[in-house]
């Protein structure tokens, strides 16, 4: 049913290019969107399907993650996934980035489309979150999971945040933890490794009519739980939620990802994306307005 819904949406989009996808998806609430969310823990969207952001999106579900992909920007709006210790394991990293097979030909982004942009090919769902299974890891190299990201950010604090979350999931106080993660982008324009500020990139060696938008911000929201059953029932006001929002530029020397901690509310307001819709309103409201209190010992 999910793949049929996605296929129909693509057909309608291609048949009617001016069509507003929000009219197809509605508010993406579980009850009326036509999208049947996977039941049970470990679902990539268990905490609620994040909403549209008005960027000509199409919703794609892979085993490794669920992505809302902008056909206007040729870049992901958000990617949502579940992470536990079983998802990691050290499979060899794939060599190549691949077009997403679920995207129509005219909207496929290929690895050489990014060549000489001065930006890294930034994963939203990192390959190391899926390297316990080579098939799932390969899906993280679909270009629907990739956005043009400043190299200093991608190889620095963005990576260190990914590492910090995996360190908790792999072992925190000798106990297994799991995480529900949504990462996304918003805005237009970032700084590449040459110090150039670009809003879009078009590889001059390729004759394409579509440009890849450079996001202005990369954000990530992580909800952490002890690894157990009935996750939705166990989430209360004491749950740990980390929300981080980076500008797409080099991180100043001496600053770490913890300096970019914000609230879920602030990310929702900036990105026009609604998160945690599957939670009771009172719990959702509380955890979205409450910032994570960083403690270095928490990650050791």
Residue 93 pLDDT greater than 90, yes or no: no
DSSP 140: T
pLDDT band at residue 22 under the 50/70/90 scheme: very low
| 266-292 pLDDT tens trace | 999 999 999 999 999 999 999 999 999
Identify whether the C-beta of residue 39 lies closer than 8 Å to the C-beta of residue 123.
Answer: no
Strand partners, 181: 81, 222
Q: What is the pLDDT of residue 297?
A: 86
pLDDT digits (tens, 9 = 90+) for 59-72: 999 999 999 999 99
Question: pLDDT tens, 176-200?
Answer: 889 999 999 999 999 999 999 999 9
Instruction: Report how far apart, in Å, the C-alpha atoms of 197 and of each of 75, 118, 131, 205, 212 are.
Output: 18, 10, 33, 20, 14
pTM: 0.87
Tens digit of each residue's pLDDT (9 = 90 or more) over 195-232: 999 999 988 877 677 899 999 999 999 999 998 889 99
Q: What average pLDDT is seen over the chain?
A: 86
Separation CA 77–CA 97 (nearest Å): 18
Rounded Cα distance, 44 and 296, in Å: 28
List, for residues 38-58, the tens digit of each pLDDT value.
456 789 999 999 987 677 899
User: CA–CA distance from 122 to each of 28, 60, 76, 195, 249 (Å)?
Assistant: 26, 19, 11, 17, 13
Residue 95 per-residue DSSP state: S
The answer to whether 95 touches 137, Cβ cutoff 8 Å, is no
Please tell me whether residue 205 adopts helix, strand or coil conformation: coil
The pLDDT score that the predictor gives to residue 4 is: 36
Domains of the chain: 41-299 (3.40.570.10)
């Amino acid at each position: 049913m999910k793949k049929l819904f996605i296929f129909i949406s693509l057909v309608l989009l291609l048949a009617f290019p001016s069509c507003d996808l929000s009219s197809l998806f509605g508010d993406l609430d579980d009850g009326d969107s036509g999208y049947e969310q996977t039941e049970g823990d470990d679902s990539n969207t268990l905490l609620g399907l994040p909403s549209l952001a008005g960027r000509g999106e199409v919703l794609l579900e892979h085993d490794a993650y669920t992505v809302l992909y902008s056909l206007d920007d040729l870049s992901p709006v958000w990617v949502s996934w579940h992470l536990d210790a079983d998802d990691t394991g050290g499979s060899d990293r794939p060599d190549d980035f691949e077009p997403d097979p679920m995207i129509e030909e005219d909207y496929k982004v290929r690895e050489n489309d990014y060549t000489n942009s001065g930006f890294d090919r930034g994963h939203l769902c990192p390959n190391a979150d899926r390297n316990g299974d080579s098939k799932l890891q390969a899906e993280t190299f679909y270009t629907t999971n990739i956005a043009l990201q400043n190299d200093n950010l991608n190889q620095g604090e963005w990576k260190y945040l990914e590492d910090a979350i995996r360190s908790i999931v792999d072992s925190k106080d000798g106990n297994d933890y799991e995480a529900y993660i949504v990462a996304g982008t918003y805005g237009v324009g970032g700084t590449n490794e040459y110090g150039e500020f670009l809003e879009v990139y078009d590889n001059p060696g390729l004759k394409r009519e579509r440009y890849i938008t450079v996001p202005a911000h990369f954000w990530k929201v992580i909800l952490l739980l002890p690894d157990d059953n009935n996750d939705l029932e166990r989430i209360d006001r004491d749950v740990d939620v980390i929300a981080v929002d980076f500008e797409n530029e080099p991180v100043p020397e001496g600053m770490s990802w913890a300096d970019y901690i914000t609230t879920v509310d602030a990310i929702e307001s900036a990105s026009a994306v609604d998160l945690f819709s599957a939670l009771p309103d009172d719990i959702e409201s509380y955890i979205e307005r409450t910032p994570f209190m960083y403690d270095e010992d928490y990650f050791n």
